Amino acid sequence: MKYSRVIVWFRNDLRVLDQETLYKAIQQSQEVVPVYCFDPRMFEKTELGFPKTGIHRMDFLLESVKSLRESLQKLGADLVILKGKPEEKVLELAEEIGCKAIFYSKEATSEELTVDKSLEKAAFTKGIACESFWQSTLYHIDDLPFPIKQTPEVFTQFRKEVEKQCKIRSTFPAPKKINYSGEAVIPNPGELPNLQTYGLEKPKQDAKSWLEIKGGEVSALGRLQSYFWEKDLLKVYKETRNGLIGMDYSSKFSPWLALGCISPRTVYEEVKRYEQERKKNDSTYWLIFELIWRDYFRFIAKKHGDKIFHINGIRNQEDSWRRDKAQFQRWVEGLTGVPFVDANMRELKATGFMSNRGRQNVASFLVNDLGIDWTWGAAYFESQLIDYDVCSNWGNWMYVGGVGNDPRENRYFNILRQAKNYDRNGDYIRLWLPELKPIKGFDIHQPWELSTVQLRALKIQLGHTYPQPMVKIPSLEKAY
């Protein structure tokens, strides 16, 4: 035993299974004190006027922390809740209860790394050790076949190299018991905050009611069980993954992966078991392929640092973006006059979730059709998405914004063609744009083509209940 008492500071790793930080802390100490700290900087308003963590993401986070506390209580411990800057609060607690070490997971981006550095520096002066563990990716950073600064810029090259040369490490088992003295050491482990604490109100509709997504490890493992084993959907994932409606077209693992309620290695091991016990095909591989995209964006963020947040991106592209707040707001509200864009934006606003197909299209519309600053789009997604993952979000936005490392030059999406391919009958539009509901078939995607007589017959007034498109929309036949 190296330490008598260790703090495990939980961050985006809100689980007990495949939790190396917790596992190592238990191995190396007589007693573990689990801690979560709500950092007020994560809940401030951004320059664009919306909070950095919006209501849906906050709600999902609160559920996930609550679930972690319950899991830890079942293991004989608790979760101490702190509020304030972690680099101060966690350290204060360590001193107060005589901890000689703080264990936590390593992050990849500067906001988090700055916190780590201050904590480490302050802890050092007090003789408290800090030990951190990399555990957010499928491939471990130490197993990469290249130094991080030489991570291949192009995804396919990255994927081929890691697939050929790296082994995915096994998961760590969940602990059976945690030694924790409880009240004797921590008389009051602290109340969980709620939405009101942050001046937020419970959303009217949320992804959890619409998509059956609840924060926490228990729900994450439940989703794994239902998507793979009960509904048996993994074997058709590649064919369904571009869908738009409901729970089953894709795995929906992303919100849980983002907060670390489940690890990518746990998903990987379950895919392997499914391949052995049920079926192995392109679809089962494709889920792993997508998880490698997730890894790739994390390692690219590590390689390029703050460039992923900068307007010029990692390509150092010239800043020629428009910054029209009124137009941006119409995009945010789902009032651009382009149904495929608006339906997706309204789903995001109402639930905190949007399909991958939707994200590609609304992002392309913002940057290519409106020419608006891609970082505004990324910041809005950061606020809204329940699956917000700093590297996947900013990395994907850089791609769409043409400032990332995409070998393809033009990522323009022809909205009508996309609509035709993925929502031919307009069912998705009917779900989110009630004002257009009476329009039948594909016409719902281009209401501007309907004559006044047709619109009157449908009792729809374009430009009043639903706006005219903000820009001219290329026809279906247009090549790009």
Ligand X SMILES: Cc1cc2nc3c(=O)[nH]c(=O)nc-3n(C[C@H](O)[C@H](O)[C@H](O)COP(=O)(O)OP(=O)(O)OC[C@H]3O[C@@H](n4cnc5c(N)ncnc54)[C@H](O)[C@@H]3O)c2cc1C
Ligand Y SMILES: Nc1ncnc2c1ncn2[C@@H]1O[C@H](COP(=O)(O)OP(=O)(O)OP(=O)(O)O)[C@@H](O)[C@H]1O
**CB-side exposure of 205: number of CA atoms within 13 Å?**
10
Residue 103 and residue 21 in contact, taking contact as beta carbons nearer than 8 Å: yes
Which among ligand Y, ligand X, none contacts residue 266 (Cβ within 5 to 8 A by kind)? none
Q: Which of residues 389-428 bind ligand Y (CB under 6 A)?
A: 390
- Asked if residues 135 and 265 have their Cβ atoms less than 8 Å apart, the reply is no
Alpha-carbon dihedral sign for residues 403, 406, 407, 411? negative
Nearer to ligand Y, 32 or 108 (CB): 108
Q: 10 Å Cβ neighbour count for 117?
A: 13
Closest approach, Cβ 478 to ligand X, in A, equals 22
From 246, 173, 205, 144, select the one nearest 350 (Cα to Cα).
Answer: 205
By the rule CB under 6 A, 376 interacts with ligand Y:
no
* Structure tokens belonging to residue 105: 């997971």
Q: Considering the rule CB under 6 A, would residue 241 count as an interface residue with ligand X?
A: yes
Please report how close the Cβ of residue 310 comes to ligand Y at its closest, in angstroms.
6
> Can you list the alpha helix ranges (DSSP code H) found in 5-108?
20-28, 55-74, 86-96
Does 263 help bind ligand X (rule: CB under 6 A)?
A: no
Is residue 317 close enough to count as binding ligand Y by CB under 6 A? Answer: no
Helix (H) or strand (E) holding 112: helix 110-125
Q: Does 387 bind ligand X (CB under 6 A)?
A: yes
176 annotated among ligand-binding-site residues = no
Q: Show the site string, 111-150: x = touches ligand Y by CB under 6 A, - = not.
A: xx--------------------------------------
Closest CA to 380 of 40, 57, 13: 57
**Residues 6 or more apart from 451 whose CB is under 8 A from it?**
none
Of 73-81, 103-111, 117-125, 222-230, the window that binds ligand Y (rule: CB under 6 A) is: 103-111
Residue among 179 and 226 whose Cβ is closer to ligand X? 226
Task: Report what 359 binds from ligand X, ligand Y, none; CB cut-off 5-8 Å by kind.
Answer: ligand X
- CB-nearer residue toward ligand X: 100 or 241: 241
Q: Is 389 annotated to bind ligand? A: yes
Instruction: Give yes or no for residue 197 binding ligand Y (CB under 6 A).
Output: no
Establish if 385 lies at the interface with ligand X (CB under 6 A): yes
Give residues 398-417 in contact with ligand X (rule: CB under 6 A). Answer: 400
Residues 6+ apart with CB under 8 A from 316: none
Contact 87, 122 (CB under 8 A): yes
* Binding-site residue set for FAD: 237, 250-254, 290-297, 387-389
